[in-house]
Amino acid sequence: MFLENAKKSGCIEVICGSMFSGKTEELIRRLKRAQFAKQKIATFKPTIDKRYSDLDVVSHDSHSISCTPIKSPARMLQIEPDVQVVGIDEAQFFDESIIDVCQQLAARGVRVIIAGLDTDYMGKPFGPMPGLMAIAEDVQKVHAICVRCGSLANHSHRLSASKKLVVLGEKDIYEPLCRECYQKAIQEDNE
């Protein structure tokens, strides 16, 4: 029997993949569908991400949605009580506290939609993403197309020589590669 006053349970959805795989595009699509359904949303991204806009989440295809840039995931807990959907872009740049924050939001009945790189340029799990995928009700892995052979790409190969973990950039610094082409590229980089 349907109870009119029953509170909808929250959930956590993760969209992950390599650079240029459409993670942000999918996040924006889900958030705009929620808006169309007249659900109140709040969108966040780390302050470090200023590639396209300071105050918007922007996809490589130039689709956008307004957001609040934040330094700490704890800021998300200050959303208004009527927010039904929280969107988070570039989640890999946050610290591990984002996992607990997402759990708390979902426990409040909020639908939390997270987009982020699952691996870094070295092919290793990136920041809090493995933990977020573990607690999520739904995980969607999206793929780019390998720029060298046309297969599905799941690696973000860095073209620059920087060894820093976080280097923001676009096609001038990263290329999406399949496993085989990524391994060849790493061997070439080390020669």
Encode the chain (191 residues) as per-residue pLDDT tens digits.
344 444 567 999 999 999 999 999 999 999 999 999 999 999 999 998 766 666 666 666 667 677 899 999 999 999 999 999 999 999 999 999 999 999 999 999 999 999 999 999 999 999 999 999 999 999 999 999 999 999 999 999 999 888 888 877 667 789 999 999 999 999 998 88
User: Under CATH, which number does the domain 11-143 receive?
Assistant: 3.40.50.300
CB-neighbour burial class of residue 141 (10 A; exposed 0-12, middle 13-18, buried 19+): middle
90 catalytic? Reply is: yes
Residue 95 tokens, joined: 């610290």
Q: What is residue 52's predicted lDDT score, i.e. its pLDDT?
A: 62
CA distance 66 to 160: 31
- Residue 125 DSSP code: B
Which token pair is 180?
């085989």
The residue written with tokens 């039904």 in the block is: 84
**In degrees, to the nearest 5, what angle opens at C-alpha 55 toward C-alphas 52 and 60?**
30
Check residue 171 and report its DSSP letter: T
Q: Given this model, what pLDDT does residue 49 score?
A: 73
Helices (H), 65-191: 97-107, 129-135, 179-190
Which of 90, 175, 180, 188 is catalytic? The answer is 90
* Domain residue extents for the chain: 11-143
